[in-house]
Amino acid sequence: MLETATTVRELSFGDAIKEAIAQEMRRDPRVVLMGEDVAEAGTTFKVLTGLVDEFGKDRIIDTPISEAGFSGIGVGAAMAGMRPIVDIMFGDFATIIMDQMVNQAAKIHYMSGGKWKVPMVFRLTMGATRRSAAQHSQSLHAWPSHIPGLKVIVPSTPYDAKGLFKAAVRDDNPCVIFEHKISYRKVKGPVPEDDYVIPLGVADVKREGKDITIIATSSMVQTALAGAKLCEAVGIDVEVVDPRTMWPLDEKTLIESVKKTSRCIVMDEGYGRYGVAAELGQVVAEGAFYYLDAPVTRLCAMHVPIPFSPKLEDTTVPSEQDVVRVAQELCTRT
């Protein structure tokens, strides 16, 4: 029997993304990455360190501090035959690139009757608790998820990050990937060295359980898994489902899980109000209504601008203790 030798290493979330970008750039010379301090500096988070040595400054391109300006260049370059990755240092700067992302990139294929394509990736970050206050800490992935024409990716593990990022680069549509800043170094996991792609729109069951489903995104997958461990002690068997992409959305896997467990918490580091969790919760409410034994419940960032003081900031993000508390509440209902 032939065995394929696959080297699997333990990589950090950030290194997995770097590997995805490097592999895609080796595979396709039309792929370039542009953003602020991406070359020698390797981004402010040092996620891309070393890429400029391999690919040069023509492909790892330092830009002026003009997020809208170079996002627009990404859109035009994509239309004219390239596959640019546009690096937006902080997801909070989504506000600055909105026109290029929402009115231009997302709509050009449709407005042109399907003639022009915009194969590009917007890299954004998300996540609080870096003590960076209200303009560098938000999780705004709900915004592009609202817009037809965009695909939105929120990876939670190094394995997923690599496979999903590569899928985004190869996709013919504008894809927006939200990378969790704290996860860059903190989250580590097995990543094959090989070239592999995870299709967009396929959820992943991160942990099987029978009593309650937690649908969790990005950083909240780790929190949900930690919470699930704590739940074992109180006799609650938690299933954790990661949709991995906000759109396309694997509604079936979410609904099937909740049909099995009959209870559901949706966890997301974005705001709950009018947010991703509201949409995911509604998908479950519509799809599994007759199977539910308790209301679908959200655990999200508090509805406040992210505060600076650690004492304040830490209270805004859901914790594993919150998971246990809410899971117990829902599981004791009859």
Partner 1 sequence: MHMYRQMVSIRLFEERVNDLYTRALMPGLAHLYIGEEAIACGICEALRKDDFITSTHRGHGHCLAKGASPDRMFAELLGKEAGYCKGKGGSMHIADPDTGNLGANAIVGGSAGIATGAAYAAKYLKTGQVAVCFFGEGALGQGLLYEELNLAQLWKLPVIFCCENNGYNEYTHFSESTAGDVAARAAAFGMRHETVDGQNVRQVYRVGSELITRAREGDGPAFLQCITYRYHGHHVGDIARTYYRPKTEEQEWVTQRDPITLHGEWMMENKIATREQLDEVQADLIKTMDAAMEWAINAPYPDPSRVTEDVYA
Give catalytic residue positions: 67, 136
| CB of residue 52 to partner 1, shortest distance in Å | 16
Tally Cβ neighbours within 10 Å of residue 68.
Answer: 15
82 versus 292: smaller Cβ distance to partner 1: 82
Residues whose CB is less than 8 angstroms from the CB of residue 293 and which lie 6 or more positions away in sequence, other chains included:
262, 263, 333, 334
Q: Which among 77, 95, 92 is positioned nearest to 128, based on CA atoms?
A: 92
Q: Please identify which residue in 9, 37, 49, 68 interacts with partner 1, judged by CB under 8 A.
A: 68
Segment near partner 1 (CB under 8 A); pick from 12-20, 64-72, 188-196, 214-222: 64-72
The site that binds partner 1 (CB under 8 A) totals a number of residues, namely 42
> Which is closer to partner 1, CB of 30 or CB of 260?
30
Q: Is 99 in the site for partner 1 (CB under 8 A)?
A: yes
Secondary structure (H, E, C), 159-200: HHHHHHHHHHHHCCCCEEEEEECCHHHHCEEEEECCCCCCCC
Q: Where are the alpha helices (DSSP H) in the chain?
A: 13-27, 51-55, 67-79, 94-98, 106-111, 142-145, 158-170, 183-186, 219-233, 251-261, 276-287, 310-316, 320-331
Tell me the two tokens of residue 9: 């290493």
Instruction: Name which position in 74, 144, 272, 275 contacts partner 1 (CB under 8 A).
Output: 74
- Does 108 participate in binding partner 1 (rule CB under 8 A)? yes
Tell me, residue by residue from 125 to 164, as one string, x for binding to partner 1 by CB under 8 A and - for no binding. -----------------------xx-x-------------
Residue 81 in contact with partner 1, rule: CB under 8 A: yes
- Closer residue to partner 1 (CB): 164 or 225: 164
The total of other beta-carbon atoms located within 10 Å of residue 53's CB is 11
State in angstroms the smallest separation of the CB of 63 from partner 1. Answer: 7
| Residues 6 or more apart in contact with residue 1 via CB below 8 angstroms | none
325 binds partner 1 (CB under 8 A): no
Q: Is 28 in the site for partner 1 (CB under 8 A)?
A: no
SS3 309: coil
Binding site for partner 1 (CB under 8 A): 30, 32, 58, 63-64, 66, 68-82, 84, 99-100, 103-104, 108-117, 119, 148-149, 151, 172-173
